A = this chain, B = another copy of it.
């Protein structure tokens, strides 16, 4: 079968996560079309070559336009910082490439909408890397909800807690810390962490109608890693909001990089009339499930060790009881994308789904600024 030639843009943390997924997917999820790591593109040629060497990319580029112009590239994977997503994606769409884009889709919803228009017009397959949908325990949560096991939903709560920027010595800008530079990241934890929470929530619980938010920047000035200058921090260090979903349920969302003791504690819980579900990223292979229909005296939260053959994706891996980790969510996502290609249907989350999340983060930031409840705008 015809191979799929991949051009990856970005060789940072996410570049590695994607390259690993491409390398592994065929070992565990049989594919008819081979994936070929055709080229990796990054501004620093030496770094790009080292990355290509490690991961087995056939070539390198330092200008993403050249990559997109190459006829031997079928799929553009954008693992570059947020501020270049839109321009690259729109160009890639115009060139007829399939596009996978890191989250958040864009710097804001207007930009995301332009990306959606571009891929729609070009009719190219597209997906956003909200990888946590593909953690088996999260996918299992979705199945239980779709089966109606929770009944009417009353509450949703999610948070994403980190602690890596508490020190005022952490710079902004630069390779490892561009997420603190508003010019590159767009926003702080709202776009970085809350976006994950929102994507999952929209998937599990439907649309959000309105929000009331607050944000805070605890460390007001940080040195810029590039310029060396101490300058004002423009991102949000912490962001929290109340929400009402369209289905009538209430929600609280919170993200911060100032929660000492938590590295990447993404958690969500959903309470329905008939049952409740909870999950957290620090023990991502478990799902907590309370079934009110169990006999009264033996009701309790079940800690499901999501490693059995009848759990989502797990038949492809090891034997029951042996857990997988973070990286596998990316393998699952590319496996689903490829399955979508075979089946002729789009694998979610598409750019359209990515836009839906950006519409919520826009409303969150607008609410924090205006100190008013804000409706989430229609896409």
Residues of chain A at the chain B interface (Cβ within 8 Å): 13, 17, 19-20, 23-24, 26-27, 30, 54-55, 140, 143-144, 150, 154-155, 157, 159, 161-164, 166, 212-214, 216, 218, 238, 240-242, 244, 248, 250, 252, 254, 256, 258-265, 271-276, 281-287, 289-292, 294, 296-305, 307-308, 310-311, 317-328, 371-373
Contact B261 A320 (CB under 8 A): no
Chain B residue at minimal CB-CB distance from A291: B298
Q: How far is the CA of A213 from the CA of B310 in the complex (A)?
A: 36
Q: Which chain B positions have C-beta within 8 A of A218?
A: 154, 248
Contact B321 A324 (CB under 8 A): no
Q: Contact check: which of B17, B258, B304 meets A298 at CB < 8 Å?
A: B304
Contact B252 A240 (CB under 8 A): yes
Copies of this protein in the complex: 4
Using known A-B contacts A324-B326, A325-B322, determine if residue A305 contacts B250 with beta carbons closer than 8 Å: no
Contact A155 B321 (CB under 8 A): no
Q: How far is the CA of A264 from the CA of B242 in the complex (A)?
A: 22
Q: Which chain B positions have C-beta within 8 A of A212?
A: 212, 214, 242, 371
Q: Contact check: which of B19, B155, B263, B272 meets A308 at CB < 8 Å?
A: B263
Q: How far is the CA of A371 from the CA of B287 in the complex (A)?
A: 35
Q: How far is the CA of A281 from the CA of B264 in the complex (A)?
A: 21
Chain B residue at minimal CB-CB distance from A284: B323
Q: Which chain B positions have C-beta within 8 A of A159?
A: 157
Q: Which chain B positions have C-beta within 8 A of A157?
A: 159, 254
Contact A264 B155 (CB under 8 A): no
Q: How far is the CA of A323 from the CA of B328 in the complex (A)?
A: 10
- For the complex formed, measure the closest distance between the CB of A81 and the CB atoms of chain B, giving whole angstroms: 16
Contact B261 A271 (CB under 8 A): yes
Contact A322 B311 (CB under 8 A): no
Contact A250 B214 (CB under 8 A): yes
Chain B residue at minimal CB-CB distance from A312: B297
Q: Which chain B positions have C-beta within 8 A of A143?
A: 297
Contact A276 B260 (CB under 8 A): yes
Q: How far is the CA of A214 from the CA of B240 in the complex (A)?
A: 14
Q: Which chain B positions have C-beta within 8 A of A264?
A: 319-322
Q: Contact check: which of B155, B281, B311 meets A256 at CB < 8 Å?
A: B155
Contact A321 B262 (CB under 8 A): yes
Q: Which chain B positions have C-beta within 8 A of A213?
A: 242
Using known A-B contacts A283-B283, A371-B373, A372-B372, determine if residue A303 contacts B304 with beta carbons closer than 8 Å: no
Q: Which chain B positions have C-beta within 8 A of A294?
A: 302
Q: How far is the CA of A287 from the CA of B20 in the complex (A)?
A: 27
Q: Contact check: which of B252, B261, B262, B324 meets A327 at CB < 8 Å?
A: B324
Contact A302 B302 (CB under 8 A): yes
Using known A-B contacts A250-B216, A300-B304, A301-B303, determine if residue A263 contacts B320 with beta carbons closer than 8 Å: yes
Interface CB pairs A-B, < 8 A, 27: A23-B27, A154-B238, A154-B256, A154-B259, A155-B238, A162-B321, A212-B212, A212-B371, A216-B250, A252-B252, A260-B271, A260-B274, A263-B308, A263-B319, A263-B320, A263-B322, A281-B322, A283-B283, A287-B300, A296-B310, A297-B308, A299-B304, A300-B305, A301-B303, A303-B303, A325-B328, A372-B372
